[in-house]
Structure formats: structure tokens, C-alpha cells
Structure 1
Amino acid sequence: MVPDVSTGSSTLGLINYLFGQGRRDEHTDPHIVAAWDMAGAPDPGRDPTATYTQLARRLDHHVDLRIRELGGKQPPQHVWHCPVRTAPGDRYLTNPEWAEVARRVVAATGIAPEGDEQACRWIAVRHAEDHIHIMATTVRADGRRPRTNRDGWRAQRECRKIEVEFGLRRLKSGDLTAPRTPTGAERAKAERQGRDETAREWLREQAYAVAAAVRSIDEYFTVLRSLGIQVRPRIGPETSEVTGYSLAAPGDTAQGEPVWYGGSKLAPDLSYNRLCERLPTQDLADRPQQVADPAEPWHRAETAIRNAQAILDSGDDAVAQGYLDAFGDALHNLALATKGGHQAELQAAARTFNRARRSAILADHQAATALREAAKELAYATHDPGGLAIALIFAALHVARAAAKWHEQRGHEQQAAAAEEAFRHLYAGYQQAAQPVLADLARRAPRATTASRFEQDLRAVLPDHADRVLADPAWPALTTTLARAETAGHNPRRLLSEVGTRRELDSAEHPAEVLNWRITAQPNRRAQAARRQSTISGTTSMSAAPRPPATPVNMTPEERGRHR
């Protein structure tokens, strides 16, 4: 059951909408199911002599008295509106049941507390099977405004109770950090334009992807403009500095004018102030330089993501929250840097995890600097890392599962559900990417004597896990990976000992896969030594030119129209 509180200033205007045909003729049999006084509320849906104006005057009675007291000044935003909708698949609710829902919501939100004879006037209108609209005028009989602070959260909390008592589908409780949902008008507009998502939703995802890749606020605005998005900074009147911003999607206009959405209206952590916490001012010259080993950004990202899992168990919620936000950036850039059929699943994981990257806990972004920097380096990676990319996905799906557990332990139901959904997308992407690679590794397995030697190493350093690893279908692939690691300068026994101490092995369904990707993520020691020697003995030392800004969408500017 979903409540959605908003306010306005036209009582008659909202009544016209509630009792009218709707924007797409979707309203059927509009009528009042509950009110502050059923006998005193004219019902245009049931009484042919009742008019919209009569109902508006009755609802506005206390408002009009207050206007006269104020010398003709109308109280601001005096119309309170709260649609309440059942979830898809819920049973049919009768009019008396909807009436009870309405009375409980207005009581919980402070509009009309139970037993309060001075409460606001309100009605609940039903014009569809699955929802009602509660509207109220927020001036009490004693002339005061009602105490409606946190009314959206209070309505949600009451709806969670109603779901249990009415046997309805139980939705996830929120903590007031969720982004605004698109309005009915926004969804209708998207449908008319043949788009799968609204302009608000599209802008939100573009803003997240850009913020994940860039290193400064200025670059953030620059890349957004390169995508065809209009940017309107807000300048403070006293400081002449930027204090906020709004975005408008290309082609999304009303009578030829852009439709603007403030950053905070897209999502709380896309506000200018929140972005400044993560994107300090930085010259483009500070951009990462090209490195001798093209795989190095992938190694750093894999290490940083793997370490994030331990941070979630550290007990420091502020630090953990900072890491979750940085991990969200890593998912966006992983999806950007990875090629192949599994990219769509990685993109879906990044979009889904956006809801899991923030909560009411204040994040310590400084603590997560290493992960955030490693994530941003992925946006500039040009090397196809092969199995290393799969190792990074493998590390990411473990962090997503740990994030779901972390949120669940703290009662963050929406975030836990989002992290779990992101995990499912990551796992699907991992399966698509990993299975062909594992099959190829298995075909290249070394001779039996080499495999037997690796088995001895495994039993020597991981005796408690050896039988499970050897029974895993991925064991032949692991022997190939061990042989390659040995060629790259690693000692197989020491390597198995190092990667086998990590906890994923204890609960892993496929422990050989865990070991395989952990070993794949290890750097090539001989290549590193050769590069160090080359650096020392080289006759010329030249800094690489800075790379151009990363583009978070794999399209040309012309192609970056809003493809849905």
C-alpha cells in the first residue's frame, strides 16, 4: 500500500480532477467513501444536486475564516493531497475498508487525529478499484495549521500496519531517503512519447553515471552538457557562487520550454551540496595518467572492492555508508568499462544499487577515498582485461550481498531489497561472462602430473576445503589458472594459501570458482619486475598525456538521445 503526500493551493482544482474523467478517461464512478462529516460533505458522485463548488466551499470553511482574519491573505499550500494505492495483485477492498484506511491515514499524519473536534476538514474519493485520494484543507477549526511534520513517513508507517491487518502485500518501509517517484502526469507523458521511463528517471540515471566517472563539479556539468542535457546552475545572490543546479532532458519541453528538475529533486544525494562532498574542485591536470600496465586499474579496483566487504563488518556505520556510496560509483564504471553481452546486467545492477547507496546514516566519504579513486580509474581504462573483469564482477557481487545484509540488520528495508536485486543482476552478468571463460580454461587444463602437483599443494594449505574444491566442476579451470600464475612468477602453494584465507571460501557453493577468480586478480609478478627494470634503465622518461574526460554512455553525442 503506497501513500504519496503532496500539497497545493486550489481546493476546487483538485476536486475537479478527483471527480472528473481523468487525464486519460481512467476515472470510473468517482464518489466519497469517507469524510470529516459524511452528512455535511456534498458528494457530486452520488448526489446529482451537489456541485464541485459546494463541496469546495464546505472544505474551505475554516480556510475562508482564516483568510478574513489575515486581511485577505490566503494561507500557503493549504490543500493536502494523499493518494493511497494497493499493490498489484492485492485483493479488492470494499468502500468501508477504504474508509477505514482514510480515517487511519488522516489520524496518523496529524490532519485529523482521532477524537480531535477541531481537526481539519477532509474527504476521501474513490474513482478506481485500487486506490483512493485523500484531500484536506489544512486550517483547523481553531484557526491553527495542523502538525503534519514528517507526514509522508507517518503515512507510510500506518500503511505498513494496515497491510498486515488487511492481509495485503507488505511493501518495504522507507527512511525518507528515496528519490521522488514520477507523478501520474509524468508517466502519462512518457507513454505518449513512447518512452519506457520518465524524464525525471532518465535524468537521475544519467546524473548518477556521470557523477561516478568525473572528478570535479565543473567536469560533472561539462559531461552532462555533452550528453545533450541542459544544465542551469543556481547562483547565490550574496556570494555569486553556485549553490545548486537544475537539469532538463533533451526534447522534454512544455510549450517549447525546458522542464527543469533540481538535483535534489532527482535524488537526495544528487543535490549540489552532496555532490561537493564527493567531487571536490580539482584541475583536469590531476586526472590519472596512463600507466605502464593497462591492467593496473582493474587490479586496484578489484582489491578496493574486495576490501569493502570487510569494511561493512567493521562496526563503523558512517565509514560503511561512505563505502556503499563509493561502491555505487564502482558499479556504474564497471558497467561502462566492461564489454560484452553481460553489460546490460551490470548496467541494471548499477541502476538498482542507487537506492542502496544512501540511507539516513551520514556517510564518511573521506574514508572511502581509495575505493572511489579506484572506481574512477575504471572510467578511463582502455585495456580489455579478459578474466580480470570477471574477477572484479565476482568481487562486486559478494559486496552487493554483504550490503543487503548490512542494510537488513539496520532496518533499511528498501535499501536491502535494492542491494539484493543488484546482487541478482550481478550474478546473472557473472554467469554470462564466466561460463564461457571457465569452459575454455577447462579445455586448456595442464597434464595430469601438473594437476596432481596442484592437488598436493591444495591439500597441504587448505585441508579443510580440499575435497570440496576438487569436487567442484571448476577444478580443471582452476588448474589452468594455477599454471598460468606459476608462469607469471607466483608460487602455487603460497598463492593458494593467501587467497584461501578469505572468508568467501567457507560459504561458497563453488569454492574452485572463488579460488580461480581470486588468483586471476593477482598481478603478473614477472611483468611487474620487467616494467620496473625498464623504468630504471630507460633513457627517456616522459609523462603520458592526460586522457580526455570519460563519457559514461557508450554512444556518440548524436546517439545520446533518450533511447528507451
Structure 2
Amino acid sequence: MITTARSGRNTLKALEYLYGPGRRNEHTDPHLVASWDGFAPDPGRDGEATLAQLRDALDLHVVRYGRPIKQHVYHRMVRADPTDRNLTDQEWADIARRTVAAAGIAPDGDPDGCRWVAVHHGDNHIHILATVVRADLTQARLRGDQYRAEAELTTIERGYGLKDLSDTRTPAYRAAIPKRAKSGELRKAQRLGREDSERERLRIGVRRALAGAADQEEFLARLALARIQVEIRRLPSGDAQGYKFALPTREPGGPVWFSGSQLAADLTLPKIRERFTTGLDHPNPTRPGDQANPATARYRTSTTTDHAAATLDDQPLPGQVAAVVAGTIEVLDTLALTSPTLSRREINQAARALEYTAIARTRAARTEVRAMRSAARELLYAGPAGSQAPDGTAAATMLASLVLLAIVIAKWHTAQGHQRQAEAAHTAAAHLRTAYGRHAARPLALLDTQGRQLPTPDCDRHETAVRQALPADQAARILAEADWAALAATLTEAEQAGHDPATLLTHAAGRRELATADSPAAVLTWRIRRNTRLPDPTRPLTAEEQRANAALARTTTHRPTTPAPTPAPTPALPAPEQARRAR
């Protein structure tokens, strides 16, 4: 359960909100579920009770206190997770009593506790409203109330069988997650017909401008290209103190400015400068000979991603995980800018989900940050994937690696007991799987057709290589997969290019995550094609290759034994490697 508290000075105004329609008419059937003595007037269910009567009852000790109190209203919200069952009024009453006792409003067995009420109004949450003067005319001792209330909620969650959100209540988690838009910002976005608030759009824009940037000058130039206004706040000495950002607007009052810390904990000036000081593996936009080659950049990103996943395999330090998460978000933000439309939205959603897996107050490992930021920079300067570089195979290879990296991040958080962060990483993996499927479908279909035309000796030889190179259970799973035919076709191409299939399989599997992959055969296919630089199977075929395909089809005696996948629309059949090498 999530709980937050605030203070105020007007009891009646707070009650008007609790018993009113809400800011967006979200309050339904507001009524009391509990109070300090069980007999407080309830304007929601008692037609003769009024808000003024309830206000006077709550303020009784405040009036008797006789001296002004700046903030005498205590307002705490307690919300269950959206996936939890709907709690009854009796259950909410018990939760309210335990929460006010833990917070120090009305400790158990204390007859002089503060007066309080708990109001439920439709959604699966309650509001606790109290006044902070006790019956003995002393003020309640509330220092540390948030931590005590959260500890009690952890016990309540376990007792009621609710979702355990204890990890989300830790200071480190709260500091790391993106800052949420306030209700006024959400109403403004709704009024303007926009899906996201200004805060959300600014955070995404700033992250994309930062992705792979070599220094502050480049970062500021990218912000200008994205039409994001930026100012550097300075101390009286002239030293930089922080950034603040705004979107251009024609609204009255001018732009709304947000500091970096109001967007996310890692977008403050010190944190951004820390990224710049880590350096880049190749600060020039692209390496010699790689200009305008998105496929090469995607293959390299896949390799970098696999190395990052390997560093998280054996009890990594929090700093290493923090570095990999931060770098992966940069890579995804760059991909969202440079990928085709069919996968751009899913990649952006994966980046946003991964923001909730960040680790605060941990110094990131410089090596991991530098490698991932360099990959993001290379992707950006290689340009968008287009007609000059068919993106299906390269993008599928890279996205398959990113899916497995997200799974490794989720496993680490699960091992640490960080349930919410683990769920966010799984959400990112789900979005990446969708993007992967959109790029991988056509090349896999082509390779599958080619693999099903292989002669029996080739199939037997590759099956033996798989059983020799991989553990028995993993080999059995791969040989039974629908994608085994595509892997067999890839092994044939690699073998004809002079590579040893068993060695390739051993190297491609390595220590990297395969057990949780949807299709280990597909993952191995992409890694082997990347490592051996095999040609893209989706390129157009020549007339000679088409004739060779037809001849091979007439002489085929065996196909890999694998369940037949659902037929998919397939372009002209790819040529076998013999025809390609004979040209």
C-alpha cells in the first residue's frame, strides 16, 4: 500500500474536498469508515449531519488549546495497489486505526490521542484527516510518522494478502523513480488534448538530448534542435548551480520551467556532468568506414548489450546494475529516435518502464556506463534505419539482446527483494518483445523456409553440433523449437563460409542468459549471424539465386524435424549459400 501525508490549516476546506466530487468527479459515495470514537457525524450517510458539525468536532481540542497553530490539520492518504482486491469498509476501518496508531495520531491504549476520521469515497483508498492537538492539550509527536506508517502498512499487506509494495516505500526507490505530474499538469494536458503532461514530455526530450552526448555543448545543441528551452542557474559566484527546462508555449503566462531534479533524480546538473566525465569509447560520431550504416551500429549495440548482461550474471555490485540501467535507457531513447515507425512506440515505452528500475544514491560503474553510452552515440550518428540498410536482421539481433538484458535486470531486482522494480523490468522486456517480433518475422520466415530444404546429412551434422556444444536439456529444447530450422539454415551458411558450427554455438551461448528466452534457437541464430557477418536473408534475390532455390527444392530429401510454425506471407525464397558463393 502507498501512503503520503501533508499538513494544512483549514479543516473545513479539507472536509469539503473529501466529501465533494473530487477534482475530476472521481469521488463516489464518500462516507466515514472509522473515527476516533466511532460516533463522529458522517455527512455522507447521515442526512442531518453537516460538514460544519464534523469540523467543529475535529477542531474541539484545537480551539481549547487557545494558541494559534500554523498547521493543525494532518491529512494522510492510504491507497491499495490497483491489482489488489476491493477492501470492505470494515477492513479499511482496521487499516485506518492501525495507521493512526503507528503514525502517533492516536497511539494504542492512549485515551488522550488526537481526533481523526477516515473517509472512503469509491476508489480503493481512504483519506485520514486529523487535528494534531491531543485531549491533554499537547501537540502530537509526529516526527518519523512516515516511516512508522510505512512499516505498519508492510505488516498490513502481509496480513490481508495484499500486494507487497515495501520496496517502493524505501527512500532509495522514491529518489530514483521519475517525478510524477501533478493534478494541475494532468488537467492542462487533458485540456490541450495531449497524451502526456509537460513534465513527461520534457523528461523524455531531455533524456533523448542527453543520450550519447559527448559534452555539455553537444547536449545543449540537441536541446535547441528539439525546441526545448534551457537555462543554467548560477550561484552569486558565477558557478553553475543547476539546469531548468521548459517547452515553448503560447499559453498565457509563458513557459512552465522545471528544474532537472523535478524531472528525475539523474537529470540534475551534477548527475549529467558525471555522465560526461565517464568519457566515450569512440567520441567521434562514427568509426572510419561506418558512416550511414545503421545495421553495423545495431550489430555492435547487440554485442555491447550481451557484454552488459554478462557483467550482471555473477552477483554484480549495485553500481554496475545502476550503470547498465542508465546506459540501456540511453540506448532505447536513441533507438526510439532512429527506428522505423513500426517499433518506435514500443521501444519508447520500454525506456519509460526501465526508468522505474533505476537505483538511487549509488555511484555508477564507469566502464559499463561508457560502453552503453558509446553504443547509444553510435546508433544516433549512424542515422535512422532505412532503405540503404535493411533493418530486419540487425534490429532483430539487437532487440533480442535487449530483451534478455531486461530479463537479467529483473532477476537481479527480484533477488534483492525489489518487487516493483522487477515488474518494471519485465514490462520493459514485454515491450521489447513486441518490437522484436515486428522486425524478426520476415527474416525468420525466410530462414525457416531455407532450413526446411536442407538435406538429411546437413541436418544430422548440425543436430550433433548442438548436442555437443550445449547442455542436454537446452539442446533438447532448441531441437524441438519451431525456430530450429532457421538456426540450421544459419549453421549451414556459416559452415560453408569456413566456420565450425560447434565452436560458433559454444561462443554464442557462452554464459549469457538463454534459459528465459522465448526462443533460444532464435537468439542463437541472431548471434551467430552477427558474429560471422552472414548476409541479410531479406535482401532481394537475383534470377540465378531463384533458379538455384528451385533446383534445391526439387532435390530435397529431408527437413529438420520441428513443429511446423504458423505459415506467414513470405517473399521469394532466399538462395542457399552455395549459389551465393558461386556468383
Contact 2:392-2:442 within 8 A present in 1 as well: no
- Among residues 410, 418, 428, which one is paired with 1:412 in the alignment? 418
- Please name the residue that 1:71 is paired with: none
For the pair 1:267 / 2:261, whether they are aligned, the reply is: no
- Please name the residue that 1:351 is paired with: 352
Evaluate the alpha carbon distance shift between residue 423 and residue 16 of structure 1 in structure 2; reply closer, same or farther with a 3 A threshold.
Answer: same
Contact 1:62-1:143 within 8 A present in 2 as well: no
Cα RMSD (Å) of the superposition? Answer: 3.8
Q: Which letter does structure 2 place at the counterpart of 1:352?
A: A
- Please name the residue that 1:227 is paired with: 226
- Please name the residue that 1:146 is paired with: 141
Alignment of 1:100-499 (within 5 A): 100-116=94-110, 119-128=113-122, 130-138=124-132, 146-149=141-144, 151=146, 154-168=148-162, 173-174=167-168, 175-176=170-171, 177=173, 178-237=177-236, 239-251=237-249, 255-280=252-277, 286-293=283-290, 294=293, 295-315=295-315, 316-339=317-340, 341-359=342-360, 361-365=362-366, 367-382=368-383, 384=389, 385-445=391-451, 448=455, 454=462, 457-458=465-466, 461-462=469-470, 464=472, 468-485=477-494, 490-499=499-508
Q: Residue 304 of structure 1: CA displacement? A: 1.7
Evaluate the alpha carbon distance shift between residue 347 and residue 51 of structure 1 in structure 2; reply closer, same or farther with a 3 A threshold.
Answer: closer
Evaluate the alpha carbon distance shift between residue 5 and residue 498 of structure 1 in structure 2; reply closer, same or farther with a 3 A threshold.
Answer: same
Evaluate the alpha carbon distance shift between residue 287 and residue 134 of structure 1 in structure 2; reply closer, same or farther with a 3 A threshold.
Answer: farther
Q: Residue 309 of structure 1: CA displacement? A: 1.8
Contact 1:459-1:466 within 8 A present in 2 as well: yes
- Which segment drifts farther, 140-149 or 471-480? 140-149
Query: How many pairs align?
Result: 515
Q: Which letter does structure 2 place at the counterpart of 1:271?
A: T
Secondary structure of 2:342 counterpart: coil
- Please name the residue that 2:542 is paired with: none
For the pair 1:501 / 2:498, whether they are aligned, the reply is: no
Q: Residue 399 of structure 1: CA displacement? A: 1.2
CA distance in 1, matches of 2:160, 2:58: 32
Q: Which letter does structure 2 place at the counterpart of 1:478?
A: L
Q: Residue 360 of structure 1: CA displacement? A: 6.0
Evaluate the alpha carbon distance shift between residue 339 and residue 54 of structure 1 in structure 2; reply closer, same or farther with a 3 A threshold.
Answer: closer
Contact 1:43-1:55 within 8 A present in 2 as well: no
Structure-1-length-normalised TM-score: 0.77
Q: Which letter does structure 2 place at the counterpart of 1:513?
A: A
Q: Which letter does structure 2 place at the counterpart of 1:247?
A: F
Evaluate the alpha carbon distance shift between residue 24 and residue 519 of structure 1 in structure 2; reply closer, same or farther with a 3 A threshold.
Answer: closer
Contact 1:157-1:173 within 8 A present in 2 as well: no
Q: Residue 89 of structure 1: CA displacement? A: 6.7
Q: Which letter does structure 2 place at the counterpart of 1:149?
A: G
- Among residues 495, 513, 525, which one is paired with 1:516 in the alignment? 525
User: For residues 479-533 of structure 1, what are the alpha-carbon distances to aligned partners after superposition, in whole Å with 9 as ceiling and x for unaligned?
Assistant: 443354456664545333422434545665644323211112216499xxxxxxx
Evaluate the alpha carbon distance shift between residue 2 and residue 194 of structure 1 in structure 2; reply closer, same or farther with a 3 A threshold.
Answer: farther
Secondary structure of 1:208 counterpart: helix
Secondary structure of 1:258 counterpart: coil
Q: Which letter does structure 1 place at the counterpart of 2:6?
A: S
Q: Residue 83 of structure 1: CA displacement? A: 2.2
Q: Residue 401 of structure 1: CA displacement? A: 0.9
User: For residues 103-125 of structure 1, what are the alpha-carbon distances to aligned partners after superposition, in whole Å with 9 as ceiling and x for unaligned?
Assistant: 22223334443345665553323
CA distance in 1, matches of 2:466, 2:125: 61
Secondary structure of 2:207 counterpart: helix
Secondary structure of 2:232 counterpart: strand
Secondary structure of 1:4 counterpart: strand
Q: Residue 23 of structure 1: CA displacement? A: 2.9
Secondary structure of 2:211 counterpart: helix
Structure 2 spans left out of the alignment, 5+ residues: 536-583
- Which segment drifts farther, 259-268 or 398-407? 259-268
Contact 2:167-2:419 within 8 A present in 1 as well: yes
Evaluate the alpha carbon distance shift between residue 249 and residue 107 of structure 1 in structure 2; reply closer, same or farther with a 3 A threshold.
Answer: farther
- Which segment drifts farther, 191-200 or 499-508? 499-508
Contact 1:108-1:155 within 8 A present in 2 as well: yes
Contact 1:63-1:139 within 8 A present in 2 as well: no
Contact 1:160-1:173 within 8 A present in 2 as well: no
- The alignment-based identity, stated in percent, is 37
* Larger relative contact order (Cα-Cα within 8 Å, sequence gap ≥ 6): 1
User: For residues 334-393 of structure 1, what are the alpha-carbon distances to aligned partners after superposition, in whole Å with 9 as ceiling and x for unaligned?
Assistant: 333332523332222111111013256554345532223223322222263541221111
- Which segment drifts farther, 427-436 or 508-517? 508-517
Q: Which letter does structure 2 place at the counterpart of 1:349?
A: A
Q: Residue 129 of structure 1: CA displacement? A: 5.4
Q: Which letter does structure 2 place at the counterpart of 1:130?
A: N
- Please name the residue that 1:16 is paired with: 16
User: For residues 236-277 of structure 1, what are the alpha-carbon distances to aligned partners after superposition, in whole Å with 9 as ceiling and x for unaligned?
Assistant: 23x323322333344495x53433333223332233333332
Evaluate the alpha carbon distance shift between residue 491 and residue 336 of structure 1 in structure 2; reply closer, same or farther with a 3 A threshold.
Answer: farther
